[in-house]
Amino acid sequence: MQRVGVFVCWCGSNIAGTVDVEAVSEALKNEPGVVFSTNYQYMCSQAGQDMIKEAVKEHNLTGIVVCSCSPRMHEATFRKTAAAAGLNPYMVEIANIREQCSWVHKDIPTGTEKAIILGKAAVAKVNLNTPLTPGESPVTKRALVIGGGIAGIQTALDIADAGFPVDIVEKKPTIGGKMAQLDKTFPTLDCAACILTPKMVDVAQNENIRIFSYSEVSEIKGFVGNFDVTIKKNARFVKEDICTGCGACVEKCPMKRVPNEFNLGMDNRSAIYIPFAQAVPKVATIDPNSCNMLKNGKCGLCAKVCAAGAIDYTQKDEYINEKYGAIVVATGFNPISMDKFDEFSYNQSKDVITSLEFERLTNAAGPTAGHLERPSDGKSPKTIVFVQCVGSRCDACAEKGKEYCSKICCMYTAKHAMLVRDKYPDTEVYVFYIDVRTPGKNFDEFYRRAVEEYGVKYVKGMVGKVTPEGDKLKVQASDLIEGKQLHIDADLVVLAAAIEPDKSARPLATMLTASMDTNDFFTEAHPKLRPVESPTAGVFLSGACQGPKDIPETVSQAGAAASKVIGLLAKDKLTGNPCVAHSNELMCNGCSSCERVCPYGAITYEDKEFRMPDRTTKIRRVAKVNPAVCQGCGACTVACPSGAMDLNGFASNQIMAEVDAICK
Amino acid sequence: MLKCSLDKINSVFEEIAKTAKLYIPADDKDGSAVYKQWENGIEWSSSLNTVRSPKDFFLPQMENLMEFKTEGKNIEVIDNRCETEDFVIFGVRACDVKSFEVLDRVFLSEPVDSYYASRREKGVIVSTACSKPSETCFCKTFGISPEEPEGDVTTWKTEDEIFFKANTSKGEALLEKLSAYTEECDETVVTEQKEKISAIMAKLPLKDLKTDAFGGGKTEEFFNNPVWEELSGSCLGCGTCTFVCPTCQCYDIKDFNTGKGVIRFRCWDSCMYSEFTKMAHGNNRITQKERFRQRFMHKLVYYPENNDGMFSCVGCGRCLSKCPISMNIVKVMKKIGDVDA
Amino acid sequence: MQKITQNQLIEKAASLLSDGTVNAVLGWSRGEFGYDVTPKMFKTEEDLKENFVWNDFCGVNFSKYLVSKTDRFDGKILVFLKPCDTYSFNQLLTEHRFEREKVYAVGIPCEGMVDVIKLKAVTGEGISEIKEDGENLLVTTIYEDAPVKVAFKDVLLERCINCKSKKHVAYDELMGDEGEVIESKRFDEVAKIEAMTPDERFAFWQNELSRCIRCNACRDACPACTCEKCVFDNPQSGVENKAPANSFEEKMFHIIRAYHVAGRCTDCGECSRVCPQNIPLHLLNRKFIKDINEFYGEYQAGAEVGSRAPLVDYTTEDLEPGEVFDRRDIDA
Amino acid sequence: MENNKYLREEIIRESGVNPKKCMKCGKCSATCPAYDEMEYHPHQFVSMVESGDIMPLLNSESLYKCLSCFACIERCPRGVEPAKLVEAVRLSAIRKQGENRMTANDVPALLDEEIPQQLLVSAFRKYSK
Amino acid sequence: MQVNEHKPLIVAFCCNWCSYAGADLAGNNRLNYPADVKIIRVPCSCRVNPMFVLRAFQRGADGVIICGCHPGDCHYTSGNYYTRRRMAALFSMLDFLGIERERTRLEWVSAAEGAKFAATMNDFVEKVTALGENKRLEDLRCKR
């Protein structure tokens, strides 16, 4: 039997106004186990806490019940108080007589009666409490960053700067991500390459960072502080450590008609290629789907011209096992497919392009060397129509686009429009918008400049349809302000396509047991207070994998994720939540029901030898919970038919005792 | 000897029910017989072989013994026993009547179980000669006479008449009440009926089952017989046999916390259960083999040893028909006792 | 009326014993009256010839026995499985309750098993011998001179009338022909109860469950109930009780037992077969099966090893509990 | 005004359209082939129904300029379905007139290669009671 | 309006992360609901064992309501999805046994839905009050 002390808080008049606190403390005196019961104006105050500490000493209390505000408010406070008094902090139970009693009930008899019952339930529970000690697990001081775009790069650099080793896994042959494909960046109009490529070089040169390019994560086991990851390094048929990136092979390769992904298929590359001049690592890669040598063994030119002898047609996929303490997801985004938006004739006309394609068209390193030319005939467009919100902000039932706002389109469209007017002042530029959303430092000013200084014509109204006619694109739209229909003969139409998470994110989330929303964006542990952490401990989120983001936001989130990772890796040991599940081996059948419902993969099985009462031994399969992984949801406790699985802090007998006390 | 036409049997029941609760075997929805409290419309079943034995009337499956209430730090003990009402069980088979003797030897010997004793005192047993035994019956094995069962009153039922004979003063008092419906008669018909019953008994498949091999003092002979292992191998440990058995008398006393107080109650227990007689150190019968052995050793060896050679099986056959896997005392007796039947 | 004969099984068992494939045979042994067969481990050919029996009363589902038998026996056990037994066999394998390597399973066809209560309702008490005669049983009783002829089809167990499958889903060797999964009417009775008013339903179950004597036969015969320690035997669980204390306890026991096997119950019908009080317990299990089929798609426990039981699974689009009733109201 | 409120609810109920879902992008109008013929354009229909400003719609020729081509329904990113609203407003207009203006016999005379079948079917549904 | 003397006893199991916080919010906003509702905090709605529900009825509860995060919002990602299946099965079974279906409910209440919490409780109490005392799942020993 416990020796329980009951402390009823008045919370000024917050509780005492509707609950007769004296009656409550008096009534609870008679409950089993209660040896001391009192009330005080503010239990959470220093004086109140001292009162608890003294009572613990004086009455040899083993358990504490505080009847006060919500445990979500002060449970931690009173646990600390208990610990300071030498009690196990988990021997404290809170009866919520403020939020769930005095504040919702009006008259004193009702409030008092309910407060007493809630107090009895807390006493009944604390009588069955057991001291709990949080488990400890070691931390592998190495981080894994999945995705090598600006988010991944920034996170990796920040972690590495703090002195921890970091590995970046990037599925493309080079890091850099979407930002490497951009021309200028809003609102300052810096050249993307000028600010990104130095960072890429930093990554390459940082001793703490390893880059696994052209690689994927294939398996993740373990838990926070102790992840066990298998990385699949795809065969690039070029020995990375030997290749100097001279490009001789690229030049000599006879297979030159492979659509160039980096330029979104607007020009061609060779079968052996380096995505772009500043690629990191600057190593050639052979595309096995286009290389003649790999397909039918005829060619081998690249191997002949490679002075370093880096070409290896027999290279195989390689699997690397590494341990990590933390994992950062930075898998980024892609524009959605325009296949379902027939009204804009994206598939009918080469001159209807997405904004990302437009970036490549205006980029000095792009297919047109930065000259704005129509993809169909290379002519300079004289009238350009930008269409905003293509596939964004759609109805959920429409099944065509995404429900959310893609966030970055307003700004980059303003940038595109402005740049066109700046370089080609005789071009007429229309931007059709629904709303122009520019929250951000210097963002609205930027948009206003596009209108006021550069004369971009912003029209309120969505484009209805785009019809190719001759070498023109007939754009039909409605000017909602002037109330008239516009028919524009455009030379180029640029669609601000919605963005969506990369397709690799979903299977990765499954491996990580990290949760995602219905749009496949990773969910954060708390939308406001823990925005860069996944609910799965040890998994952090960086960049657009968590939601649409522009570069400044991505970089700041990347830094935030890095600081969280550093905070984790700086610890030598992790202290867990002691309210975790545990299995009674004597009762466990090993039936696997609990394992199947565990969202964290915290339950494993082992064959254990038992000594039977008749002195024989028996080997049985029994469940084992890894307390470092278990988050304490309790799903397993109900899945277990024999009741072998129970939850610390919320044990079945404790909950039933509460039920009994309430129903008395 | 008294007799009465079967046409009037419901009037007889009505008369008895005026002063006491009357229980008779009646047909349940699936055709099996169960004891039901008589009221108008409840018909006496043609079968006497009830699913549950009449042991329930004296040793109910569950009964509250007392209550505690706590008020602050005080505890109050409440004896919640209420006066047992008079009751009559009508149509009890010979074997079941014999089972009461087995129970009496346990509950009425010192210290007397007052709960049991008061019910025993208030209950009147009207037995009926068993003219239609089942193939599972083997009461003769234990020297029981289905032709003339014991009880406060013995009755014989023919096609159209029922004959009464009082054996005790309680029985005489009951028959006194029924005098309006009965008339004196001689024993001719009853004697005929007894002969008929004897003839049927001679046809029963288990008629030759003998107890010679068993009895007190045989513990060492049987206890370590390796056959227990094989016999108990099929036992599921469910306890059905003990719950339908008229002589199984083990019980457990438990407390139930109602939230407002504690009810101390007694309920049947079963030696087939793993928790049976569990003690602080654990369980002394650790596998189903020991538990299985216990049941039969108790019936055939331990009980006779303490009760002048009386076996605590009455051959009612319930466990034979209700065991889910048809393992039963007959199979055990044949195997262990190597009795040829 | 079984298509495969007792002698065929004895021969098969004897040959597997003698060639060392197996070290023991889990089979049915002869009783006193023809219908009271008992499971037994046979270890010799002589024992098999003398005591092994295969007839219309071999209802016991051996799958559950494998849990304890494989545990305590060093060697391989031959087990004869009827089609319905094979589902339990698979389900127990799914739950890792015995080692597959320790068992040699022989699938045998089954034409249905006889319900002794139904049989006795026709013949009366006093059965001394039962013989097969074509589609009939010839039952000799001590009361009649001539044997009573009973049509086999009329006295089948409820579970056999509504047999869900004659297909063996697991075996090492199959005797006889492979059967098919059957479109059974096994949910009709459940639907009938669902169609009652709540008051009628309550009265129905009150009447049935009040007869429970809490003997635990249903649980102990159930191949899904293989817990090392049942919650109802465990004083720590808070629900342990040995007696049918009152109508609540009985409901609690049966609801929770049905819930614990929900999604795992193969609908083998042992619970109802063994109930000494003839309570139609299988209806509770079938209610869960029917609900699961309707809410989450058809699922047959034990149809394959390793399948995920519906209650340890989910989709994000599942029905809300409230919608369950809305839907039923619309259907009604 | 009370009357308009009732009318608004009726139109919304009959059309099954939720005009509150509209984000005022104007794509319906932008895509409308009959835009130039109309006094009130599809996006205005949605907005005016939502604000209960229905009388002008009932009295406007615009009501009959809609071709029921359903381009607006197809293109609307929010799934608002303006054409169904137009249709519902038409029904209200017809209810107000209250007479049977079309019989089955009239239909063959009206058949014209140029007229979409859909229009004819919906017209028949509306103008016969 | 029928006056019902019986004061129902309602046990509400609320998950710590959403519904318990929702109940707190109802308090913060001073949204009244009957004092008949007594809340038990559980880490997740999936911690609620059907045995707890039956236990509450045994001990005299007239209604049991389980509140959890909205589907997709579970703090533990999937706990409430299991709850949904378990309770759908359990409630359907109770209904099958003739227990009034209004006595049990599963409701999703987020931490932001203080108003929904109060409204849900008001509604639930009203429905259970209309049913009167729980007679079909009672344990007479626990009644006074």
Q: Which of B143-147, B168-172, D5-9 has the lowest mean pLDDT?
A: D5-9
Q: What is the dihedral of CA A625, A628, A631, A633, to 10 degrees?
A: 20
Q: Look at residue B2 in the predicted model and tell me its pLDDT.
A: 94
CA dihedral E83, E87, E90, E92 (to 10 degrees): -150
The per-residue pLDDT for range C33-84, each reduced to its tens digit, is 889 999 999 999 999 999 999 999 999 999 999 998 888 888 999 999 999 9
Contact E55 C194 (CB under 8 A): no
Chain-chain contact of C228 with A643 (C-beta, under 8 angstroms): no
User: pLDDT at position C23, please?
Assistant: 95
B vs C, Cβ pairs < 8 A, gives: 133
Distance CA A444, CA A432 (A): 17
SS (H, E, C) A507-562: HHHHHHCCCECCCCCECCCECCCECCECCCCCEEECHHHCCCCCHHHHHHHHHHHH
Contacts of range C181-186, beta carbons closer than 8 Å, 24 or more positions apart? C186/C162, C186/C267, C186/C286
Contacts with E88 from chain C: Cβ below 8 Å: 291, 295, 318-321, 324
Number of domain units in chain E: 1
DSSP state of C254: H
Overall size of chain A counted in residues: 664
Looking at the complex, does the CB of residue C311 fall below 8 Å from at least one CB of chain A?
Answer: yes
| pLDDT score at B298 | 96
Q: Please name the residue that has the structure tokens 């034409």.
A: C111
Q: Would you call C233 an interface residue with chain B, using a CB distance cutoff of 8 Å? A: yes
The three state secondary structure string of A19-84 is CCHHHHHHHHCCCCCEEEEEEECCCCCHHHHHHHHHHHHHHCCCEEEEEECCHHHHHHHHHHHHHH
Inter-chain contact E79–A634, Cβ cutoff 8 Å? yes
Asked whether the beta carbons of residue B287 and residue A614 sit closer than 8 angstroms, the reply is yes
Choose the closest CB to A613 out of B71, B260, B286: B286
- Residue C324 forms contact with B (CB below 8 Å): no
**Strand-strand pairing, A268-269 and A617-625:** unpaired
Closest CA to E82 of C289, C311, A600, A581: C311
Between A194 and A517, the more confident residue is A194
Neighbours of chain A (3+ CB pairs under 8 A): B, C, D, E
| Distance from C-alpha of C65 to C-alpha of C221, rounded to nearest angstrom | 9
CA–CA distance, B90 with B128 (Å, rounded to integer): 8
Q: Which residues of A touch B257 (CB under 8 A)?
A: 660
Q: Side chain identity at A600, as an amino acid letter? A: Y
Say whether the peptide bond before residue B226 is cis (omega within 30 degrees of 0).
no
Q: Which fold has domain A333-500?
A: FAD/NAD(P)-binding domain (3.50.50)
Burial label for D120, CB within 10 Å (0-12, 13-18, 19+), is: middle
CA A628, CA A538: separation in Å to the nearest integer?
Answer: 11
pLDDT at D117: 76
Q: Which of A9, A46, A21, A88 is nearest to A579 (CA)?
A: A88
Q: Which of E97, E99, E138 to substitute to test the interface with C, most C CBs within 10 Å?
A: E97
C194: helix, strand or coil: helix
C277 touches chain B (CB under 8 A): yes
Which of C93, C94, C229, C239 best tests the A interface by mutation, with the highest count of A CBs <10 A? C229
* pLDDT (tens digit per residue) in A99-139: 999 999 989 999 999 999 999 999 999 999 999 998 888 99
Do A634 and E26 make contact, defined as CB atoms within 8 angstroms? no
| Sheet order of strands, A92-96 included | A34-40, A4-9, A63-68, A92-96
- Here the tokens at position E32 are 């009244």
Question: Any long-range contacts for B42-46 (C-beta under 8 Å, 24+ apart)?
Answer: B44/B9, B44/B13, B44/B90, B44/B91, B45/B91, B46/B132
What one-letter code names the amino acid at A328?
Answer: V
- Predicted confidence (pLDDT) at residue D128 exceeds the cutoff of 70: no
Question: What pLDDT does A15 receive?
Answer: 95
Between CA B122 and CA B115 the distance in angstroms is 11
- pLDDT, tens only, A632-644: 999 999 999 999 9
How far is Cα E128 from Cα E132, in angstroms, rounded to an integer? 7
Nearest CA in chain D to A484: D36
Tokens for A146, please give them: 């999945």
Domain-by-domain residue ranges, chain C? Answer: 6-114+161-174, 117-150, 188-331
Q: Is it the case that chain A and chain D have 3 or more CB pairs lying under 8 Å apart?
A: yes
pLDDT over 80 (residue D95): no
Query: Are A and C close enough to touch, i.e. 3+ CB pairs under 8 angstroms?
Result: yes
Pick the closest to residue A100 from E10, E112, E124, E26 (CA basis). E26
Residue of A nearest to D32 (CA): A464
> Is the whole-model pTM more than 0.80?
no
Question: pLDDT band at residue E1, thresholds of 50, 70 and 90?
Answer: very low
Please check whether residue E12 is in contact with residue A603, taking contact to mean a CB–CB distance below 8 angstroms: no
> Which residues in chain E are contacts of C291 at CB distance < 8 A?
88-89, 92-93
The CATH code of domain D2-98 reads 1.10.1060.10
Sorting pLDDT into bands at 50, 70 and 90, what band is B341? very low
Q: Cβ of B248: how many Cβ atoms within 10 Å? A: 28
Cα(A63)–Cα(A69) distance, rounded to whole angstroms?
A: 18
Q: Chains B, E: CB contacts under 8 A, how many?
A: 10
- Residues A117, A157: contact at Cβ < 8 Å? no
- The answer, yes or no, to whether residue A1 has pLDDT greater than 70, is yes
Measured between CA atoms, the residue of chain E closest to residue A630 is E76
Q: Which of A521, A525, A516, A527 is nearest to A502 (CA)?
A: A521
Q: Check residue C330 and give its pLDDT.
A: 63
User: Which residues are registered as beta bridge partners of A603?
Assistant: A625
Return residue ranges of chain D for CATH 1.10.1060.10. 2-98
Question: Under DSSP, is residue C90 helix (H, G, I), strand (E, B) or coil?
Answer: helix
Cβ contact D78–A398 (<8 Å): yes
Chains touching D (at least 3 CB pairs under 8 A) are A
What amino acid is encoded at A14 in this protein? Answer: N
User: Which residues on adjacent β-strands are paired with residue A285?
Assistant: A273
Q: Does domain A581-648 have CATH number 3.30.70.3270?
A: yes
pLDDT of residue D2: 52
**Exposure b/e, C113-145, CB count within 10 A at least 16 = b:** bbbbebbbeebbbbbbebeeeeebbebbbbbee
Distance from the Cα of E87 to chain C's closest Cα (Å) equals 6
Left, alpha or beta for B135 (phi > 0: left; psi -120 to 50: alpha)?
alpha
Q: Kindly state whether A103 is in contact with chain E, defined as any CB-CB distance less than 8 angstroms.
A: yes
- Spatial distance between the Cα atoms of B135 and B146, rounded to a whole number of angstroms: 14
Superfamily of domain A147-229+319-332+527-570: FAD/NAD(P)-binding domain (3.50.50.60)
Spatial neighbors of C127 by CB under 8 A, at least 6 apart, are: B135, C33, C34, C35, C119, C120, C139, C140, C141
The partner residue sitting opposite C321, judged by closest CB among E71, E91, E140, is E91
CATH 3.30.70.3270 range(s) for chain A read 581-648
Does residue E21 fall inside a structural domain?
Answer: yes
Q: What torsion, rounded to 10 degrees, do the Cα atoms A617, A623, A629, A630 define?
A: -120
Cis check: omega of the bond before A281, within 30 degrees of 0: yes
Q: Which residues of B touch E142 (CB under 8 A)?
A: 258-260
Judge: C296–E92 Cβ closer than 8 Å, yes or no: no
Q: Which CATH number fits domain A235-316: 3.20.20, 3.30.70, 2.40.128, 2.60.98?
A: 3.30.70
**A110 half-sphere exposure, CB direction, 13 A CA radius:** 16
Tokens of A311: 């070409």
Q: How far is CA A526 from CA A523, A541, B210, E110, in A?
A: 8, 12, 79, 13
Residue B340, pLDDT above cutoff 50? no
User: How confident is residue C181, by pLDDT bands cut at 50, 70 and 90?
Assistant: very high
Instruction: Look at residue C236 in the predicted model and tell me its pLDDT.
Output: 85
Q: Give chain A's mean pLDDT.
A: 93
| Residue ranges in chain B assigned as alpha helix (H) | 9-19, 94-107, 114-122, 169-177, 188-201, 219-223, 227-232, 240-244, 288-297, 303-306, 318-322, 329-336
Give A185's strand partners: A190
Closest residue in chain A to residue E75, using alpha carbons only: A535
Q: How many interchain CB pairs under 8 A, C with E?
A: 118
CATH number at residue E22: 3.40.50
Q: Among A486-500, A586-600, B327-341, C245-259, name the one with the lowest average pLDDT.
A: B327-341
What percent of chain C clears pLDDT 70, i.e. is strictly above it? Answer: 98
Residues whose CB is less than 8 angstroms from the CB of residue A423 and which lie 6 or more positions away in sequence, other chains included: A372
Whole-angstrom distance, CA of residue A531 vs CA of residue A525:
7
pLDDT of residue E4: 52
Q: Is B97 helix (H, G, I), strand (E, B) or coil?
A: helix
> Given an 8 Å threshold on Cβ–Cβ distance, is E98 in contact with C238?
no
Contact B259 E142 (CB under 8 A): yes
CB contact under 8 A, C242 and B236: no
Average pLDDT, chain B: 92
User: What average pLDDT does this structure show over A443-469?
Assistant: 94
The mean pLDDT of chain E is: 91
Structural domain that includes position E27: 10-142
CA angle A82, A88, A92 (to 5 degrees): 55
Pairing of strands E37-42, E10-15: parallel
Q: A341 CA to chain E: closest CA distance, Å?
A: 29
* CATH topology classification for A4-126: Rossmann fold (3.40.50)
Residue-wise pLDDT for D97-127, tens only, equals 766 677 777 777 777 777 777 777 777 766 7
Residue type at E47? R
Q: In the structure encoding, which two tokens stand for residue A137, read together?
A: 């697990």
pLDDT score of A430 more than 80: yes
The answer to whether residue E144 neighbours chain B at the CB level (below 8 Å) is: yes
Mutate to test the interface with C, among B243, B288, B332 (most CBs of C within 10 A): B243
> In this structure, are residues B147 and B197 in contact, taking their beta carbons and an 8 Å threshold?
yes
Contact list in C for residue B236 (CB cut-off 8 A) is 217, 220-221
Residue C105 and residue C170 in contact, taking contact as beta carbons nearer than 8 Å: yes
- Model pLDDT for residues A334-375, shown as the tens digit of each residue: 999 999 898 999 999 999 999 999 999 999 999 999 899 999
Q: Which residues of E touch B258 (CB under 8 A)?
A: 139, 141-142
A461/D21 touch (CB, cutoff 8 Å), yes or no: no
Nearest-CA distance A662 → chain B (Å): 9
Cβ neighbours for A78, distance < 8 A, ≥ 6 positions apart? A43, A44, A49, A52, A64, A66, A68, A92, A94
Residue D91 confidence (pLDDT): 85
Residue with the bigger pLDDT between A33 and E142: it is A33
3-class DSSP assignment, residue A177: helix
Q: What is the amino acid identity at position C286?
A: R
For chain B, the chains sharing at least 3 beta-carbon pairs closer than 8 angstroms are A, C, E
Average pLDDT, chain C: 92
Angle at B114 (CA atoms; ends B111, B119), nearest 5 degrees: 135
Chain E interface includes C262 (CB < 8 A)? yes
Instruction: Give me A609's structure tokens.
Output: 């030898």
Residues of A in contact with E39 (CB under 8 A): 96, 100
Is the pLDDT score of A307 beyond 50? yes
Identity (one letter) of the amino acid at B208? Answer: D
Closest by CA position to B154, among listed B42, B51, B48, B37: B48
**Conformation bin of residue B72: beta by default, left when phi > 0, alpha when psi is -120 to 50:** left
Return d(Cα B143, Cα B129) in angstroms, integer. 15
